[in-house]
């Protein structure tokens, strides 16, 4: 599956969450909680399991890895 065909849910600098297709310049939708975009993605694209950015910081600095939303 090409990167363009994947959905990503990521935290924005304003602490809201965006649903974005791989390689997209703009978010498809932006919502207040992480749960809302996961539910939106499941409703609008039931065959695609988006990758969700973990919002905790690691001891090394920076974000933890991505996980699948089911």
What is the tens place of the pLDDT at every residue in 26-59? 999 999 999 999 999 999 999 988 888 876 666 7
Q: Which range of residues forms the domain containing residue 61?
A: 3-68
pLDDT band at 1 (very low <50, low <70, confident <90, very high): very low
Q: What is the pLDDT of residue 68?
A: 75
What is the pLDDT confidence band of residue 69, given thresholds at 50, 70 and 90? confident
* pLDDT of the residue at 4: 64
Per-residue H/E/C for 28-53: CEEECCCHHHHHHHHHHCCCCCCEEE
Domain count, the chain: 1
C-alpha to C-alpha distance for 34 and 38, rounded to whole angstroms: 7
Q: For the chain, what is the mean pLDDT?
A: 84
């Amino acid at each position: 599956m090409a990167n363009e065909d994947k959905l990503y849910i990521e935290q924005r600098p304003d602490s809201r969450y965006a649903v974005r297709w791989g390689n997209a310049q703009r978010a498809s939708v932006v919502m207040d909680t992480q749960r809302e975009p996961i539910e939106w993605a499941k409703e609008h694209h039931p065959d695609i399991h988006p990758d969700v950015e973990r919002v905790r910081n690691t001891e090394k600095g920076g974000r933890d890895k991505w996980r699948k939303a089911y």
